[in-house]
């Protein structure tokens, strides 16, 4: 019903007699109370949302700053640890490297300062598979660096909650990783080629240096020079002179060394240190040089015995050389290396008590020789080998210049030892001579050992060698026994080119290195490093064959030898070993070393030159660098 008042049934079932106006006046008060409650709830929720936003944004920001700070600490520690491998003031350089690295690398676009006290140097020891760091003084050869960084950053939304700043910290420790190093040295016979006369046209050979270090020089305690032979030679207070620096025998004492500079323009025919005694002469005048004639005329034996005129004529008679053996014996007599007991009436033999008597003819027979000048510990008749070799047209020396054939003297004798009697079994005296490139390798390895020895680190070094045979020479060893690698009984300084045998079994040398680095005392956690040296071409395949047969067969074996080398490099790489291939000398296979280093994740390094002094200096520089080439890694 329409009206001012109306009856409405309320919810209890009774009538509500209030007017519509009265009821409309009460509704806004209820809604106001509800709005107030909602407003409070919104404020609470907004505050929570602001807190969550602050938390989300600031945590994300701090996470990025923290990650960047850790990266900076890691990188600074690695850079500083690498400086510990420096020879000069390594601790100071490590601190400087860390400080400069942090200064030059912002953390999330803001600079960071590294305090000196936050750089700690120490030594790390592997205990139960974990490295334990302990701080040490600079004089105790630290091998590790610990870096601590901290930054304070202003927050974005957290100030709403009363948090304005946050300090973050990062720590990193880096270690110079201990190394197990296998040095693989080439001991093939070619490791003396750069000292031989056969190389004089292309290389600055040092054959005089080799001769001067053989026992028997004028300054030696057991000199082979007589006082008479030194007359007129201006020796110093140590009885040294370049012309008498090495051993001399018989007529060689008259010749002396001769031409000192054996370079590209050298002429054997013009060398006063060589006498040419040709075979197949025409009579008694072919060996009639005035100095040789005077020498033989004055040659005096026991009991003042001398050759008779008849004997002297036949000694110089080159018409008797149809027999090559007879020629060699005649040369030995003419050079004063042996005495001829001719059996001729009035001959020297007759004045020497107990001397055997020959048959009296003009031929120098083997039974008529008494050897006067044995060299080193060799029997005197070894001179016949030298004379035979010297007359050959197939020697490397004759290939360089045919004038060397039938030319006798200290030069060709020294070259005979290098080219024909190179092994330790034949001529152990060569181990003490600076034949090249063997001496360059010895010096370089000594430099590497010296660098490693200067640091009190845990590096281990072994020595593997190869010619035809590949051998473990010195097992992995560390300070204070690293000199075993160089000067120990089995060390490199006591070895020579072709020490055991010839040929170049590079694959076998790598195989020995792999064995050493995978067996005790090699360490699982150590960085494995192979330093492979060669001066020539791989020529022994995995089956132990050297080039023989037809040309095609030889080429096949050479290719197999190269592949054997590359296969061993791949095995080493698969075991995590790095190979540094070093080509040394004038004739090294640099291409093969490039391939080996590429497979072995290492470097190919060359010290190749026709100048010995150049490649010797380059090789020493390489080995000094390899000695300090310490890998670094983060620990803990």
Burial environment of residue 94 by CB neighbours within 10 A (0 to 12, 13 to 18, 19 or more): buried
Same domain, 253 and 282: yes
Q: Are residues 439 and 482 in the same domain?
A: yes
- pLDDT at position 11 is 45
Matching residue, tokens 């292309």: 202
> In the numeric block, which tokens belong to residue 129?
């598979």
What Rg, from alpha-carbon coordinates, does the chain have? Answer: 43
In a domain, residue 254? The reply is: yes
CATH code (residue 445) = 3.40.50.410
Same domain, 294 and 230: yes
SS3 of 378-418: CCHHHHHHHHHHHHCCCCHHHHHCHHHCCEECHHHHHHHHH
- If asked whether residues 401 and 339 sit together in one domain, one would say yes
Residue closest to 432 by CA, chosen among 91, 192, 155, 130 = 192
Number of domains in the chain: 3
Residues 362 and 233 occupy one common structural domain: yes
3-state SS string for 526-553: CEEEEEEEECCCCCCCCCCCCCCCCHHH
With respect to residue 84, please indicate whether it lies within any of the assigned structural domains.
Answer: yes
Domain annotation covers residue 216: yes
User: Could you give the CA distance from residue 233 to residue 241 in angstroms, rounded to a whole number?
Assistant: 7
Same domain, 49 and 150: yes
Q: Is 248 contained in some domain? A: yes
Tens of pLDDT, residues 431-477? 999 999 999 999 999 999 998 888 767 899 999 999 999 999 999 99
Give domain status of residue 20, yes or no. no
Residues 324-364 have pLDDT tens digits of 899 999 999 999 999 999 999 999 999 999 999 999 999 99
Q: Do residues 381 and 393 both lie within one domain?
A: yes
Q: Output the pLDDT for position 126.
A: 83
pLDDT at 5 over 60: no
Name the band, by pLDDT with cuts 50, 70 and 90, for residue 503.
very high
On whether residue 200 sits in a domain, the answer given is: no
| Residue 370 contacts residue 341 (beta carbons within 8 Å) | yes
Verify that 397 and 272 share a domain, yes or no: yes
Using alpha carbons only, give the angle 63, 66, 71 rounded to the nearest 5 degrees.
Answer: 125
Residue 285 resides in a domain: yes
Shared domain check, 217 and 76: no
Dihedral angle sign, alpha carbons of residues 160, 161, 164, 170: negative
Question: End of a domain among 152, 175, 198?
Answer: 175
The pLDDT of residue 317: 86
515-538 pLDDT, tens digit each: 999 999 999 989 999 999 998 899
pLDDT at 34: 63
Last residue of one domain, picked from the residues 383, 406, 432: 432
Q: For the chain, give me the number of helices (H) and strands (E)?
A: 15, 17
Distant-in-sequence, close-in-space partners of 415: CB < 8 Å, separation ≥ 6: 196, 197, 198, 207, 397, 404
In a domain, 533, yes or no: yes
Task: Give the residue from 372, 400, 432 where a domain finishes.
Answer: 432
DSSP 304: G
Residue 609 pLDDT grade (very low, low, confident, very high; cuts 50, 70, 90): confident
489-492 long-range contacts (CB < 8 A, ≥24 apart) are: 490/463, 491/463, 492/185, 492/441, 492/442, 492/445, 492/446, 492/463
Residues 213, 171 share a domain: no
- Shared domain for 370 and 243, answered yes or no, is yes
Q: What range defines the domain where residue 536 resides? A: 181-190+434-635
Q: What is the mean pLDDT of the chain?
A: 90
Which residue from 633, 626, 320, 245 is spatially nearest to 445, judged by alpha carbons? 626
Please write the tens of the pLDDT for every residue from 551-587.
999 999 999 999 999 999 999 999 999 999 999 987 7
Residues 454 and 382 grouped into a single domain: no
- Residue 156's pLDDT is what? 72
| pLDDT tens digits along 29-60 | 555 666 666 666 666 676 666 656 666 777 88
Q: What is the pLDDT of residue 249?
A: 98
């Amino acid at each position: 019903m329409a009206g001012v008042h109306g009856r409405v049934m309320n919810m209890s079932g009774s009538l509500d007699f209030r007017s519509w106006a009265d009821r409309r006046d009460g509704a806004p008060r209820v809604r106001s109370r509800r709005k107030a409650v909602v407003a409070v709830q919104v404020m609470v929720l907004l505050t929570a949302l602001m807190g969550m936003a602050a938390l989300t944004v600031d945590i994300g920001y701090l996470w990025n700053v923290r990650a960047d700070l850790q990266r900076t600490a890691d990188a600074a520690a690695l850079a500083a640890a690498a400086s510990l491998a420096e020879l000069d003031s390594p601790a100071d350089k490590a601190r400087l490297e860390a400080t400069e690295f942090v200064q030059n690398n912002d953390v999330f676009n803001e600079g960071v300062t590294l305090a000196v006290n936050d750089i700690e140097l120490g030594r790390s020891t592997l205990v139960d598979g974990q490295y334990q760091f302990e701080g040490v003084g600079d004089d105790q050869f630290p091998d590790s660096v610990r870096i601590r960084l901290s930054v304070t950053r202003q927050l974005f939304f957290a100030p709403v909650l009363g948090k304005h700043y946050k300090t973050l910290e990062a720590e990193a420790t880096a270690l110079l990783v201990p190394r197990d190093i296998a040095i693989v040295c080439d001991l093939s016979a070619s490791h003396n080629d750069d000292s031989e006369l056969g190389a004089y046209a292309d290389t600055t050979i040092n054959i005089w240096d080799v001769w001067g270090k053989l026992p028997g020089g004028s300054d030696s305690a057991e000199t082979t020079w007589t006082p008479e032979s030194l007359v007129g030679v201006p020796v110093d207070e140590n009885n040294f002179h370049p012309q008498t620096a090495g051993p001399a025998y018989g007529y060689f004492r008259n010749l002396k060394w001769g031409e000192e500079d054996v370079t590209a323009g050298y002429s054997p025919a013009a060398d006063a240190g060589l006498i040419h005694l040709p075979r197949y002469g025409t009579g008694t005048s072919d060996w009639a040089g005035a100095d040789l004639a005077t020498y033989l005329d004055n040659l005096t034996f026991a009991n003042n015995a001398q050759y008779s005129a008849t004997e002297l004529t036949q000694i110089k008679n080159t018409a008797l050389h149809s027999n090559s053996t007879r020629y060699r014996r005649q040369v030995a007599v003419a050079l004063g290396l042996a005495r001829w007991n001719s059996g001729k009436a009035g001959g020297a033999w007759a004045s020497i008590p107990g001397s055997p008597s020959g048959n009296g003819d003009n031929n120098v027979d083997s039974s008529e020789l008494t050897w006067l000048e044995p060299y080193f510990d060799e029997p005197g008749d070894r001179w016949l080998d030298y004379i035979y070799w010297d007359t050959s047209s197939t020697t490397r020396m004759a290939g360089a210049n045919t004038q060397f054939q039938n030319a006798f003297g200290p030069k060709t004798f020294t070259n005979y030892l290098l080219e024909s009697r190179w092994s330790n079994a034949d001529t152990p005296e060569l181990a003490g001579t600076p034949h090249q490139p063997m001496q360059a390798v010895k010096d370089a390895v000594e430099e590497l050992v010296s660098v490693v020895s200067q640091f009190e680190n845990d590096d281990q070094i072994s020595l593997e060698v190869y010619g035809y045979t590949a051998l473990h020479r010195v097992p992995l060893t560390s300070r204070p026994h690293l000199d075993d690698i160089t000067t120990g009984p089995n060390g490199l300084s006591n070895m020579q080119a072709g020490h055991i045998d010839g040929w170049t079994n590079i694959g076998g040398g790598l195989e020995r290195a792999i064995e050493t680095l995978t067996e005790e005392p090699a360490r699982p956690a150590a960085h494995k490093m192979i330093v492979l040296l060669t001066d020539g071409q791989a020529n022994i395949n995995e089956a132990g064959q050297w080039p023989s047969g037809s040309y095609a067969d030889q080429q096949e074996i050479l290719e197999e030898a190269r592949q054997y080398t590359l296969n061993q490099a791949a095995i080493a790489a698969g075991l995590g070993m790095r190979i540094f291939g070093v080509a040394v000398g004038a004739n090294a296979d640099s291409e093969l070393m490039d391939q080996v280093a590429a497979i072995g994740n290492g470097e190919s390094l060359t010290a190749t030159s026709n100048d010995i002094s150049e490649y010797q200096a380059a090789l020493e520089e390489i080995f000094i660098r390899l000695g300090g080439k310490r890998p670094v890694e983060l620990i803990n």
